[in-house]
Amino acid sequence: MIRTLSSAPARGCARKWRLTVLALGSLAAVLTGCGSTVAKVSAKKVPLVVYAAEGYDANTVAAFQKATGIPTQLLDDSTGPLLAKIEAEVNNPQWGLLWVDGDEAFAALDKQHYLLRGFEPKANWTAAALKVMPPDHSYIPTGFTAMPAVVYNSQAVSSPPTSWSQLLQPQWKNAVGMNNPAISGPTYPFVAGMMQHLGGVGPGESYFQQLKANGLKVFDTNGVTLTALTQGQIKLALVQNSAGIGAAYQDPNLKVAYLSPATLLPSVIGIDGKAPRQVQLEAEAFVNYVFSSAGQHQRLVGDPHGDSLFWPVVKGYPQSPLVPNFGSIPYQVLNAYTWGPREASIDQWFSTNIVA
């Protein structure tokens, strides 16, 4: 049974808050995603609090609760507010596990010694997954999307741009929209990715200032930016590719393109390094469940036109047929430990100089 204490608007809204409490079950172990290893959890279960910003988090948490009997509480919100909550709780952490998009935030948390180190589920990782795996195993990628994709209405745009520099041309004046990285967690990797691609913070700032001079419009989140596109306020939406693919499924006139490079965006799980050991064991069981076939199924069905449109990080795992071949995407990988600690200052710069 799931009891919702406070519901929230759809994921496209900037602010949403939901706390879900799941009834107790009976099992005390969960199989890992690869093989028959069993993660033992003490018979004396305590509540596991999951902070998450994934479209499939509620059904995955519910299924985990049912499979393991571990009492689980879910706080579902946008990434920015969740990270702010973790910072505010530094002296009294309320979370046991964090699950959001973007490894930069996790690298920053790891540098502050917030995360449990040394835990990794047994899995046959893809080459891309190995590129983002931290050396100290303080967090785990669970899937990949790309940030951004260029979403456009084919009825209004016959020839979409093919390079980042083209967005600065007069033909796209007042026609480009994107999310606010201070609110939309997946957008910071896009901003940092442009800085990495162009050679540093300064050249990246210059690029976004030129975009602003060309009429860039900034909205809160993927959903709001895509709504601006469908309403004709903009011609190009720079959003997370999973959101773009889902929107294109709903509206065949919408198309999704990729400029080189797009930044690879992992969904990531990390465990509170300061939590009691029993909470950490339960969090490890949750991670193992996520990589099991049952957990993978929950992630694929939980948000079929949104966050479920991801590329697997484990070889042989299925993906939605709506998702393009991973090899066709011109992607780059961010150095999370370089760009993670800069997130707050870059978000502030963007808010002051681009949003304002």
- Per-residue pLDDT of 132-171, as tens digits, reads 999 999 999 999 999 999 999 999 999 999 999 999 999 9
- Per-residue pLDDT of 302-319, as tens digits, reads 999 999 999 999 999 999
Does residue 240 sit in the same domain as residue 307? no
- pLDDT value of position 36: 34
Does residue 313 sit in the same domain as residue 345? no
DSSP code of residue 324 = P
Does residue 246 sit in the same domain as residue 272? no
- Per-residue pLDDT of 266-312, as tens digits, reads 999 999 999 999 999 999 999 999 999 999 999 999 999 999 999 99
- pLDDT value of position 213: 98
Structural domain boundaries enclosing 37: 2-145+267-326
Residues 6+ apart with CB under 8 A from 87: none
Query: Residue 182 half-sphere exposure, CB side, CA atoms within 13 Å?
Result: 15
Does residue 58 sit in the same domain as residue 118? yes
Does residue 134 sit in the same domain as residue 279? yes
Does residue 170 sit in the same domain as residue 244? yes
- Per-residue pLDDT of 9-46, as tens digits, reads 333 333 333 344 343 333 334 444 443 333 455 558 99
Does residue 108 sit in the same domain as residue 34? yes
% residues pLDDT > 90 (the chain): 85
Does residue 297 sit in the same domain as residue 259? no
Does residue 123 sit in the same domain as residue 185? no
Does residue 256 sit in the same domain as residue 274? no
Q: What's the CATH number where 348 sits?
A: 3.40.190.10
Does residue 164 sit in the same domain as residue 84? no
- pLDDT value of position 181: 93
Give the chain's domain count: 2
State the pTM of this model: 0.86
- pLDDT value of position 341: 92
Does residue 85 sit in the same domain as residue 97? yes
Q: Residue 72 pLDDT > 90, yes or no?
A: yes
Q: Which regions of the chain does DSSP assign to beta strands (E)?
A: 2-6, 18-22, 29-31, 38-40, 48-52, 72-76, 97-101, 139-147, 149-153, 176-179, 217-219, 236-239, 254-257, 262-271, 331-332
